[in-house]
A = this chain, B = another copy of it.
């Protein structure tokens, strides 16, 4: 089989059956795309459901002719087809072989085989763009809080030469892309429809900017419509194509949490940004953190880099409050300081008794406190130093 025949057959197969269909992927692995296609066209699908689906699709056209038309259409609009034998094929999506979801009642949760091919718009080689990449996913109906956080994370990733990957939706997806674009970084939108068919329409300008400096990617033929099940089928690619996924805001029933479940199932880093418990848009995020011990709570770009960064690099500092002179005090010095009266002075004997330390210790700690300007010595004893005035003209 020639290279061209393989490409044509892969396109025809994704038109005959939705991407991710396990039985189709198995046939391609066994016989090659061309023979697998012929087998299906001869009514030789291994299961009833696939046989029926193929028969129904055949009523709408000849698969090889549809594929050829799609390839020439892609050519006209500057898109290309990427298949596994190409150098730019992102091999990590092969991990979808072993994606098994704990609960798989729905077809989209079972049919999670690796893609047969990708349609790509944009200048970057696909594998290179996805090599150091992180997905940022979340709610369409994001709040101002979610949009802010997603933009910051998108910016921060791009700023550190990580590629941002997301869908094409309003809300978190768009915010992540915009953040990456504003840092001059690479961002990749993985679509659930043709790469020539921006959905939602309101994001047309954003898609054009992404295609200019990053990539638009889809498994579906140009012209394909964004049918609802396709978003969940697409999500497995976002999970598998990246080093990890960050969830920023999700309601209780959210496709974005499905992306996270897929990331967890193939042992990619699953990172979740918490939010106010009073917000419906954080319910899905909190449920994920409660349900999956492996899902990691992250509060910003530093934590994200720590999770996906190479070992030993990109480690976030644990959060600390500002350093204060009192941080330097040992227990006894702190106790001495606490035992000083708020106002006025106190003699060293009375102070030692109050603090429960001996006089020698009290004197030693008092000189430390003096050095740190926390205590002042006066003719009649020791007193607390006044804290520095907060503002000019203050006490």
Contact = CB atoms under 8 A, between A and B. Distances in A.
B299 A277 contact: yes
Interface in A8-51: 16-18
A338 interface: yes
Nearest to A324: B253
Contact of A334 (B148, B228, B276, B286): B228
Interface of A: 16-18, 52-53, 55-57, 59-60, 106-108, 145, 148-149, 227-229, 251-253, 273-278, 282-284, 286-287, 289-291, 293, 296-297, 299-300, 303, 318-321, 331, 334-335, 338-339, 349, 352-359, 361-362
Q: Tell me how many chains of this kind the complex includes.
A: 2
B361 A52 contact: yes
A321 B252 CA distance: 5
A360 B77 CA distance: 38
Contacts of A290: 296-297, 303
Contact of A319 (B106, B252, B356, B358): B252
A228 B53 CA distance: 73
Interface of A is mostly: helix
A353 B54 CA distance: 9
Contact of A229 (B59, B274, B331): B331
A227 B338 contact: yes
B229 A334 contact: yes
Given A53-B357, A331-B108, A353-B60, A228 B338 contact: yes
A228 B374 CA distance: 15
B56 A227 contact: no
A55 to B, nearest CB: 6
Contacts of A287: 318-319
Contacts of A106: 331
Contacts of A57: 353, 356
A353 B53 CA distance: 8
A277 B18 CA distance: 39
Contact of A356 (B56, B148, B359, B362): B56
A56 B359 contact: yes
Given A252-B321, A274-B277, A352-B59, A229 B357 contact: no
B253 A356 contact: no
A276 B276 contact: yes
A289 B52 CA distance: 50
Contact of A355 (B56, B149, B284, B359): B56
28 contacts: A52-B358, A53-B357, A56-B357, A56-B358, A57-B356, A59-B352, A59-B353, A60-B353, A149-B278, A228-B334, A228-B338, A229-B334, A229-B335, A229-B338, A251-B321, A252-B320, A253-B320, A274-B274, A274-B277, A274-B282, A274-B289, A275-B276, A275-B277, A283-B299, A284-B319, A286-B299, A289-B289, A291-B318
